[in-house]
């Protein structure tokens, strides 16, 4: 996400997710030396995001995770900028 440093959070890692070809990957995680998408903006009209983080309440203890979530909601509600 533009202007956001790395997000560090305690969370369950989901690997091998497959966004649609026209999706814009915003977040990735690394597992066994391979980068896997965990967040993306869907292609097409409208404002649609997938965020695979937040499986556990401990994920939200991270300031960077909360900042990411605030940015996502702001963008989804019509805020300026890109996701």
Average confidence (pLDDT) over 13-27: 88
Domain boundaries, the chain: 24-76
Q: What is the three-class DSSP state of 28? A: strand
Beta strands across the sheet bearing 24-31: 24-31, 34-41, 49-51
Q: Is the per-residue pLDDT at 1 higher than 60?
A: no
- Stronger pLDDT, 65 or 7, i.e. the higher one: 65
Whole-number pLDDT of residue 83: 64
pTM: 0.80
- Stronger pLDDT, 64 or 82, i.e. the higher one: 64
Q: Report how far Cα 29 is from the mean position of its chain's Cα atoms.
A: 10
Question: How do residues 25-53 score in pLDDT, each as one tens digit?
Answer: 998 888 889 899 999 999 989 999 999 88
Question: ∠ CA 79-80-83 to the nearest 5 degrees?
Answer: 85
Listed in order, strand segments (DSSP E) in 1-83 are 24-31, 34-41, 49-51
């Amino acid at each position: 996400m533009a202007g956001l440093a790395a997000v560090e959070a305690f969370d369950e890692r989901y690997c091998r997710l497959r966004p649609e070809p026209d999706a814009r990957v915003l977040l990735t995680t690394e597992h066994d030396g391979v980068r896997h998408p965990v967040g993306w903006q869907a292609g097409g009209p409208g404002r649609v995001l997938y965020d695979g983080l937040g499986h556990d309440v401990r994920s939200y203890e991270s300031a960077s995770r909360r900042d990411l979530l605030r940015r996502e909601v702001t963008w989804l509600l019509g805020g300026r900028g890109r996701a």
